Amino acid sequence: MTDILTNLRNISGDTYVLSGNDDRKAFDTDVFGDKIGSSLAVVRPANTDEVAAILKLAHETGTPVVPQGGNTGLAGGATPTADTTQIVLSLARMNAIENINPETRTATVQAGVILQNLHDAVAKHDLIFPLIFGARGSCMIGGNISTNAGGSNVLRYGNTRALVLGLEVVLPDGRVMNLMNALYKNNTGYALKDLIIGAEGTLGIITRAVLQLHPAPVARATALLSVASLPAALTLLRKLQDASGGAVEAFEFMPENHMQGYQNLNPDRTLPLETPGAVNILTELGATSQLLARPGDDGRPLIENLLEDVLTDGFENGDILDAAIAQNDSQRDAFWHIRESAYEVATSDGPAIDFDVSVPLDQVETFLDQAAKRLASVVPGMRKTIVSHLGDGNIHYGVLPENNRNGIAPALKTKVMEVVEDLVTELNGSFSAEHGIGTSKRPSMARQKDPVALDAMRAVKAALDPQNIMNPGKVLP
Amino acid sequence: MTDILTNLRNISGDTYVLSGNDDRKAFDTDVFGDKIGSSLAVVRPANTDEVAAILKLAHETGTPVVPQGGNTGLAGGATPTADTTQIVLSLARMNAIENINPETRTATVQAGVILQNLHDAVAKHDLIFPLIFGARGSCMIGGNISTNAGGSNVLRYGNTRALVLGLEVVLPDGRVMNLMNALYKNNTGYALKDLIIGAEGTLGIITRAVLQLHPAPVARATALLSVASLPAALTLLRKLQDASGGAVEAFEFMPENHMQGYQNLNPDRTLPLETPGAVNILTELGATSQLLARPGDDGRPLIENLLEDVLTDGFENGDILDAAIAQNDSQRDAFWHIRESAYEVATSDGPAIDFDVSVPLDQVETFLDQAAKRLASVVPGMRKTIVSHLGDGNIHYGVLPENNRNGIAPALKTKVMEVVEDLVTELNGSFSAEHGIGTSKRPSMARQKDPVALDAMRAVKAALDPQNIMNPGKVLP
């Protein structure tokens, strides 16, 4: 033990090896305060060479290593477990944006860059890195990549995997693997980059990345809608995509009780819709074509005219029941506040059994209907919270049993998880759409994942990390 | 031997096991007729169960298996080697388009579907599967996926990997791995789908896939341009992307000697440009927004007005020297004929040493300048053929030594490959952009690929195919 601490101090300096309980606490505890591990030490390397030296040491001593970025993950992947021999390797000091190239629209960054800082830096070039979600002020790029983070505009720009051109990875034995290319075509062997992305630090540690940037939209059109049904919403999405040439940046579903819950929490705010119904949609189009930003006959940008045309059509055929279009940024912010209050709305009624699932786009309604039916007998008096990135089939589904404020019995939780996840599997969906596996979803992996695929994953893990020192106890059951 | 043939016949039926020399010839020979292998037999299974049974047999007997689709690959990946114990497993009979879902814009297909047949089938729904290249009339989807095929509109739609949502794969031991999801978010463990894509059949056999379809463009604008320089072309590309909202479907570079070579081969055709210069660009915009298809003031679609605006701007600042915009489909076809004659132009002057490389977008000019300089002393009197998917940094570069019609000395070929590929590596590029490795680029893998990445690939291969029976002798050096 002492040897390892001494060696870590020799690598990164005394200041950057934290072994006291108080110093380690923030690193040992997950974002909810639910999962509390107990590491031997936290080491905070300054650069790739130090990461490599630490992993070489870990390799030689069989020491388990937990890579950590902003520690904002929702599945426990970045938090140490109870094993007191683990060291947490924090990437937080490796926070340089090394290069932004406006000509190729790429950025080269270290793993510890906070997502919001990258957003701010590329905005100066009228560019965006289109990964956006609540934790952006503290999550780090390395963690985003390790979890293949999603969010609300995957619909347009893809998951994190689609935004990463190159990676530098330190393998479990301390060797540095250089995949740092800014290339759009590169068929030179196996897709190691894609394999490392989403592996949640179990195959190696991401130290640097080349990221794809996109032009910032030059105009936006944002609407809150009450739609006749989920199939009508899917039709509307297609019409918006066709009218705008794929410029739909968000297509978010909120059911009636979300709107009601939001109103209860925000009694001073007036809901933009006079008659929120069963299916409320927040949609936003982002014009990246300058043409769509030009003023139309009414002086408003063409992208807004285009949105209005689709909505008018939807009113006429009965697909749309009510609509509000944001007339300015403060109205837009007010619309988004309703969606972004999902966490507050969901938790205002006490703890829930939470799911982050996805199904094929045309199966969302079936999922919601069937889940309600099958859970009715399992959870008497059940309430539920739902918000959905409907445009990509991702549903955040929360089940609140009666008397949930007094705690939820583990047996009930397990039963509910089985019912919901069995349904998801029947519908050819995913039991973890964007939050990953970490420790929380390992039982689901064991139950739901194709056993042949699980075996293949275990073979890959054993091949690249034969000592099982990289983030052990995560991802694979 | 006899046992294996008997067993194969028991699995797929006598008709579908070919062991005679004449029967095997087309399967044993690559598309150029250069690479001629000698398999034990060709087996043509009807479905996934038969593929699984064949691989189980291969696993039990240690028999090497070469998966084959349309056998149109340019790197030898689908053709057997000299090892006479190999069996070729042809997917050609598994040619069903199982489902096209216009609501979710996805297709479920078997691996043996010919690409053009899928194009035709989805066109009926006003959809496209946007993978397009010369071999589309005979290449098969399974091979496209196995090689992560590219083409000229990767710029807009990505490589094959970006178009595949789900896969069914038979592993080397005959087990079927089910990754057949039509999901946009699915973070349940390692990216096995991405790992199999581009593995050229060395990790298992793709039997079915779920593919992402896209809306067909509702209008197009196509232009042939003479541009002042390659950096000016890159600026132009960005302006076109910004004006159109990323609707650039092709941005192809052809140097002066390509235009001249084309004219020589087609003396009866008039080149659309009066003054082709050093940098000629064929670009095409595809309007997927209905708005961009509406007629402008001059009655032509707005997407064409938009193209004209950017070109006018380019003329004024001197970036563009000459331009022709296609006024109808036959003019468009004539423009594309110049680009699609690349093979005929390149080979009209005898055999070449061919490269399929990519570099970062802003390094194409440096590559061309440096390659010419460094090769001058190596290849006296050198001529070269160049066409480039400039929009994605992919350059098809051919070196023609003096007296090449009498054959090219292997030592010279090796030397030229080293010079060009060393340069590509210096520029952080790829020595195989879209054609893959097969057998042709294995020496390049050994020389140029990051050795740590190579080791990781070898570990993955050994983990998933410990007997090395899947397409041995391909990809890994």
Judge whether B171 is closer than 8 Å to chain A, CB to CB. Answer: yes
- Dihedral through CA B20, CA B26, CA B29, CA B30, nearest 10? -160
Position of tokens 């190239």?
A: A101
The token pair that represents B459 in the structure block? 């570990």
Cβ of A183 within 8 Å of Cβ of B434? The answer is: no
pLDDT of B297: 85
Cβ of A182 within 8 Å of Cβ of B428? The answer is: yes
Handedness of CA B420, B425, B427, B428 (dihedral sign): positive
Cβ of B437 within 8 Å of Cβ of A188? The answer is: yes
Number of inter-chain CB pairs under 8 A, A vs B: 303
Phi-psi region of A428 (alpha: psi -120 to 50; beta: other; left: phi over 0): left
Partner residue facing A215 (CB), from B241, B358, B441: B241
Mean residue pLDDT of chain B comes to 96
Identify from B164, B185, B206, B450 which residue to disrupt to test chain A contact, counting A C-beta atoms within 10 A and taking the largest count: B185
B464 has a pLDDT exceeding 80:
yes
The token pair that represents A340 in the structure block? 């972004």
Q: Read off the pLDDT of residues B33-62 as tens digits, 9 standing for 90 and up.
A: 989 999 999 999 999 999 999 999 999 999
Q: Chain B partners of A290 at a C-beta cutoff of 8 Å?
A: 242-243
pLDDT of A214: 96
Q: Read off the pLDDT of residues B368-426 as tens digits, 9 standing for 90 and up.
A: 999 999 999 999 999 999 999 999 999 999 999 999 999 999 999 999 999 999 999 99
- Return the bridge partners of B281, or none: B225, B253
Give the helix/strand (H/E) hosting A238.
Answer: helix A230-244
pLDDT of B2: 56
Partner residue facing A434 (CB), from B105, B185, B244: B185
Short-list A96, A183, A11, A76, CA closest to A438:
A76
Query: Min CA distance, A296 vs chain B (Å)?
Result: 12
Judge whether A46 is closer than 8 Å to chain B, CB to CB. Answer: no
**Which residue type is seen at A455?**
D
Domain B2-90 has CATH 3.30.43.10: yes
Judge whether B476 is closer than 8 Å to chain A, CB to CB. Answer: yes
Cβ of A457 within 8 Å of Cβ of B192? The answer is: yes
Partner residue facing A452 (CB), from B175, B197, B461: B175
Report the CATH number of the B219-342 domain. 3.30.70.2190
Cβ of A291 within 8 Å of Cβ of B290? The answer is: no
pLDDT of B189: 98
Q: Chain A partners of B477 at a C-beta cutoff of 8 Å?
A: none
- Identical fold for domains A219-342 and A349-436+447-451, yes or no, is yes
B324 has a pLDDT exceeding 80:
yes
Identify from B131, B184, B290, B452 which residue to disrupt to test chain A contact, counting A C-beta atoms within 10 A and taking the largest count: B184
Cβ of B393 within 8 Å of Cβ of A185? The answer is: yes
Cβ of B187 within 8 Å of Cβ of A154? The answer is: no
Q: Which residue in chain B is spatially nearest to A199 when comparing CA positions?
A: B190
The token pair that represents B395 in the structure block? 């350059």
Identify from A148, A155, A167, A185 which residue to disrupt to test chain B contact, counting B C-beta atoms within 10 A and taking the largest count: A185
Cβ of B190 within 8 Å of Cβ of A460? The answer is: yes
Q: Chain A partners of B433 at a C-beta cutoff of 8 Å?
A: 183, 185-187
Partner residue facing A189 (CB), from B358, B360, B437: B437
pLDDT of A290: 86
Judge whether A332 is closer than 8 Å to chain B, CB to CB. Answer: no
Q: What percent of chain B has pLDDT over 90?
A: 94
Dihedrals phi, psi of A81, to nearest 5 degrees = -90, -160
Query: Min CA distance, B231 vs chain A (Å)?
Result: 10
Judge whether A172 is closer than 8 Å to chain B, CB to CB. Answer: no
Largest Cα–Cα distance in chain B? 75
pLDDT of B296: 86
SS3 string, chain B, reads CHHHHHHHHHHHCHHHEECCHHHHHHHHECCCCCCECCCCEEECCCCHHHHHHHHHHHHHHCCCEEEECCCCCCCCCCCCCCCCCCEEEECCCCCCEEEEECCCCEEEEECCCEHHHHHHHHHCCCEECCCCCHHHHCCEHHHHHHCCCCCCCHHHHCCHHHHEEEEEEECCCCCEEEECCCCCCCCCCCCHHHHHCCCCCCCCEEEEEEEECEECCCEEEEEEEEECCHHHHHHHHHHHHHHHCCCEEEEEEECHHHHHHHHHHCCCCCCCCCCCCCEEEEEEEEECCHHHHCECCCCCEHHHHHHHHHHHHHHHCCCEEEEEECCCHHHHHHHHHHHHCHHHHHHCCCCCEEEEEECCHHHHHHHHHHHHHHHHHHCCCCEEEEEEEHHHCEEEEEEECCCHHHCCCHHHHHHHHHHHHHHHHHCCCECECCCCCCCCCHHHHHHHCCHHHHHHHHHHHHHHCCCCCECCCCCCC
Residues 68-97 of A with CB under 8 A from B: none
CA distance A328 to A6: 58
Q: Chain B partners of A443 at a C-beta cutoff of 8 Å?
A: none
Average pLDDT rounded to a whole number, residues B309-333: 96
Domain ranges of chain A: 2-90, 97-215, 219-342, 349-436+447-451
The token pair that represents B22 in the structure block? 């004449």
- Pairing state of beta strands A353-358 and A394-400? antiparallel
Query: Min CA distance, A261 vs chain B (Å)?
Result: 27
3-state secondary structure of A81: coil
Short-list B283, B258, B285, CA closest to B336:
B283
Q: Which residue in chain B is spatially nearest to A203 when comparing CA positions?
A: B190
Domain B349-437 has CATH 3.40.50.1980: no
Largest Cα–Cα distance in chain A? 75
Judge whether A232 is closer than 8 Å to chain B, CB to CB. Answer: no
Partner residue facing A185 (CB), from B150, B194, B234: B150
ipTM of this predicted structure: 0.96
Judge whether A416 is closer than 8 Å to chain B, CB to CB. Answer: no
Q: Chain B partners of A203 at a C-beta cutoff of 8 Å?
A: 190
Architecture of domain A97-215: 2-Layer Sandwich (3.30)
Handedness of CA A59, A60, A62, A68 (dihedral sign): negative
Q: Read off the pLDDT of residues B182-211 as tens digits, 9 standing for 90 and up.
A: 999 999 999 999 999 999 999 999 999 999
Judge whether B234 is closer than 8 Å to chain A, CB to CB. Answer: yes
Architecture of domain A349-436+447-451: 2-Layer Sandwich (3.30)
Residues 286-305 of A with CB under 8 A from B: 287-292, 302
B267 has a pLDDT exceeding 80:
yes
Count Cβ neighbours within 10 Å for each residue of B352-386 and write b for 16 or more, e otherwise: bbbbbbbbbbbbbeebbebbeeebeeebeebbbbb
Q: Chain B partners of A183 at a C-beta cutoff of 8 Å?
A: 358-360, 393, 428-430, 433
| Consecutive 10-residue averages of pLDDT for chain A (477 residues) | 88 97 95 92 98 98 98 95 96 98 96 98 98 94 98 92 98 98 96 98 98 96 97 96 94 96 95 91 94 89 94 97 96 96 91 96 96 96 95 96 92 96 97 97 96 98 98 97
Dihedrals phi, psi of A177, to nearest 5 degrees = -100, 120
